[in-house]
Every structure is written in C-alpha cells, then in structure tokens.
Amino acid sequence: MKKIMILETLVAAAFAAGQAQAAPISLEHATITAAYQGTAEGVLGLDHGFQPEAGSNISTLDPLDSGVEFLTSDYLFGFDFSKTGLLTIYNNMPVPAPAPDGAYTLSFDFGSTLQAPITSFTLVDGSMVSGLPGLSVLSNHSIGLDLGPLTWNGDFVSFSAQIGTGAPGGSDVPEPASLALMLAGAAGLALLRRRA
C-alpha cells in the first residue's frame, strides 16, 4: 500500500511538472477595445463616462479599482478588469432568457499594450450562474465571451474568469523527460495494483 501511495505521488508530481503553467497576466497600463454583438457601438467605456460617443468602446483600467470599465449599451452587463487579469462580469439587470442566437457575445482586445501574450482564459467562480459561459482566447492579445448559455441566479450577481499567460520559462507542451517519468510511474502503478 505504501508503494502505491509513493508511486501515485510521483505520477501526480510528474504530471503537474509537465503541464503548461499559466500565471495571471498583468493588465496594468493596458488599453482595452471592446465589442458587443460584433459592434463597437454596443459597449460604453469608463474613460468616456459610459456615454455613447465615438471611441466609447475603448478604456483603460479604473485607476481607483472601484467599479467597472465597461457597460453594454443595453445596460445588461458590466465588466470589471483587475490589474492581475481577473475579469468579473455582472448582470446589471434581469437578463432576458432564453438568449436570442448570437446575443450576449463580446470581445476584448488589448492590442500591443500587454506585457505578455494571453495563453488562457478560464472560469474562476461560476457559483452565481447556471450553465457555462463561452470563454475563448481569440489571439495572443484578445479574448471572447459568450454569455448566451447562462442563466443568472439572481439580479446584480456575477461570475469571474482569469486571463492568463504562460509562466516565465514555461511551455505549453510537457517536456519529454516529464512525459517519460509520468508514463513510467503510471505503468508501475498499474503493475502494483494488479499484484495487490
């Protein structure tokens, strides 16, 4: 039994070492360009006082970190970015359901203002929604959201997702030595379990 636990620990360690490591991305000094349902006019930015005017879909982070950076022009959703790449999405009022096809889709582009490329966009806390939001990395400087599949469990609730980048020196592909160690450990574990 003790040998099995040691091998399981080795396999877990090798697997963890070989996985692509994602780290929070720095959004400090980032400029964000947003689109809602494919149009720039669908988003109102903090830097423009949330007023519908030319360029109102472009904003920087709230320097006081006290509120959202973007509202959709229908005021259904608010978007708050943190300096560490955490995005919190709020339903600002009751969201009509079911969502019409293609409704509630957004993109956020950081252009050349990022210090590192975006490599991941993952759900952190979805406890206040039912269903899974569509989270996608569109390019190394942009992300996409599809809020259509969600049912919000109340009004003025939120969920959060983390934008990430590869860890310094990290790799998206496990190194061959890590894979070999992981496979050897798995084979040994299978052999021990068979004997037990």
Q: Residue 31 has which token pair?
A: 């400029």
pLDDT tens for each residue of 78-131:
999 999 999 999 999 888 877 777 789 999 999 999 999 999 999 999 999 999
Instruction: Report how far apart the first and last C-alpha atoms of the chain are (Å, whole number).
Output: 8
Q: Residue 3 has which token pair?
A: 């040998």
Reduced to 3 states (helix: H, G, I; strand: E, B; else coil), residue 152 is strand
pLDDT tens for each residue of 17-66:
444 457 999 999 999 999 999 999 999 999 999 999 999 999 999 888 88
Using the predicted structure, report yes or no on whether residue 70 has a pLDDT greater than 80: yes
Using the predicted structure, report yes or no on whether residue 183 has a pLDDT greater than 90: no
Q: Looking up tokens 């569109």, which residue turns up?
A: 138
The whole model's pTM is what? 0.74
**How many CB atoms within 10 Å of residue 156?**
12
Least confident of 40-44, 155-159, 188-192: 188-192
DSSP state of 47: G
Q: Residue 139 has which token pair?
A: 């390019």
Q: Which residues contact 121 (CB under 8 A, 6 or more apart)?
A: 135, 136, 137, 143, 161, 162, 163, 164
Omega cis (within 30) before 100: no
